A and B are shown apart, each in its own frame.
Chain A
């Protein structure tokens, strides 16, 4: 047992010798966030603006779904590599409960109090709002009809054809309850009881056989709609315009969609806590930059005056556009953080048996 403890640093030293010393770099802010399209847009728009504003250079790390796990590991190892990080909607409560995040210093970030209350959380500032919405292929709908509510999604007679939902209970069970007539503001209350849970699963039973495939990544749901594998599917609102540009007649149903917000936060032990606030300012409080960003990805934040920069048509595509936001319900990430283990197990069992 003891030799292992002795070997660990020895192995580390050997490795350091083998691989050369790590370069110590000053004045670099390390930011973790999603890769792919999000990274491309961030690198084009926000990172240069940050460098211009502060003189610091940046390092953007593409960290996917394992980001909280990485933070936990870095905290345990006592070496925090990230200065600032994207915190997804579902990761936020996990981060808060486990004490992974440092509180935001609003006196430092926003002394003039220009950010709306909705944008300010204790451990993060809203970086993006996005929705899980139903998208329908208009060309597959029966003549003159289109889905207008979750009850329509459950209506297999009027709207026959394959459907898809995400292979997880979050933002799936909610839709089942809405279809079953539960009011938007009572969803989580009902879902919190055993009878409510039974009710949601019983409702899902009705369409179980019309769902050939349960999607697991955003790209997959887009592809399913694009290939005509399913006619109706939930998806993130981010790529619906790309589907339309590709000549696929799809339309978002905002009614009963789930509205999420993701954040930019600072992990505990971040080496450049104050400079991270500068990054948050660039990322969340500069409407002219955000206006560029939402042209790539319709995931707006609460930068003051953002909607003034947009045309009416553009604004109507945003999940936080008033009419759209009013039609949706706000996803309760805290409910899911507290209940996901239990409900996921039941959900998996429901899928299997």
Chain B
């Protein structure tokens, strides 16, 4: 059931924006099946050579897996730390909230090259270059401000009386949090997590300094910049979209099935 009549114009506008956002696929997809040495559109002949070159090259495959692992770990760390910090900031006295928020957003305004070099020094001193955990932590630090900003905005909009009511009605602080404060925050936390994931997944500069030996996906992609772009990049992008769409579809099916079996 529709909660509110959305105007047809809004729907048309929405789909127009979707086209603007995803049109590159219409070019990337055919190019990934091209047999040309260089990125050329339209492709002249069909071939799977770029998919072969992706799967036959352990560096490409490893790079993808490393980027995924690092991004997931970094996402968990930054989302947890950032959400807790946002809760604290919004519970703090008003005159502290402002400075705390700006303190937490510091990493965004520092050029990444400075952070990269600083973290690199830390890694050399502790002998932790080429360490995925180290990279994940650095990415988590860079992504955390976004988490703080997004969850803070949501916290400010939640009615604090609900949590207070829960406390008055006898719930302990943790329970009040879990039952009253947390649920309405979930969308914002998920949004922040998505954000944190991509901050890490796309990050290049810190990874270049830290990873000595193994490579992340952006490192592998940008390494080609010196000489030529070849369609492997197109193949990778296509694969990522297909795999995540499938995962999404499977998750949705499972959820529906679970919902059916659970229903009386």
Contact = CB atoms under 8 A, between A and B. Distances in A.
Contacts, number: 124
A288 to B, nearest CB: 24
Given A16-B126, A22-B128, A242 B228 contact: yes
Nearest to A225: B38
Interface in B128-168: 128-129, 131, 133-134, 137
A66 B213 contact: no
A60 B211 CA distance: 11
B133 A19 contact: yes
A246 B124 contact: no
Interface string B197-228: 00000000000110011010001101111111
A64 B228 contact: no
Given A61-B212, A219-B228, A76 B38 contact: no
Nearest to A242: B37
A40 B122 CA distance: 30
B39 interface: yes
Interface in B218-254: 219-220, 222-229
B121 interface: yes
Interface residues of B, number: 37
Contact of B213 (A61, A222, A245): A61
Given A19-B134, A37-B228, A236-B227, A66 B209 contact: yes
B120 interface: yes
B38 A222 contact: yes
Given A219-B227, A242-B228, A62 B215 contact: yes
26 contacts: A8-B122, A12-B122, A16-B126, A16-B127, A18-B133, A35-B223, A35-B226, A36-B225, A36-B227, A38-B227, A64-B208, A64-B222, A66-B208, A73-B124, A76-B121, A79-B125, A79-B127, A81-B129, A219-B229, A220-B225, A222-B38, A222-B229, A223-B228, A242-B228, A243-B38, A247-B44
Interface of B: 36-40, 44, 57, 59, 117, 120-122, 124-129, 131, 133-134, 137, 208-209, 212-213, 215, 219-220, 222-229
Given A22-B127, A246-B36, 12 more contacts: A11-B122, A15-B126, A30-B213, A35-B219, A39-B223, A61-B212, A79-B124, A81-B129, A222-B229, A243-B38, A245-B37, A297-B227
Closest 8 CB pairs of A and B: A35-B223, A12-B126, A36-B223, A19-B133, A77-B124, A36-B224, A217-B225, A22-B127
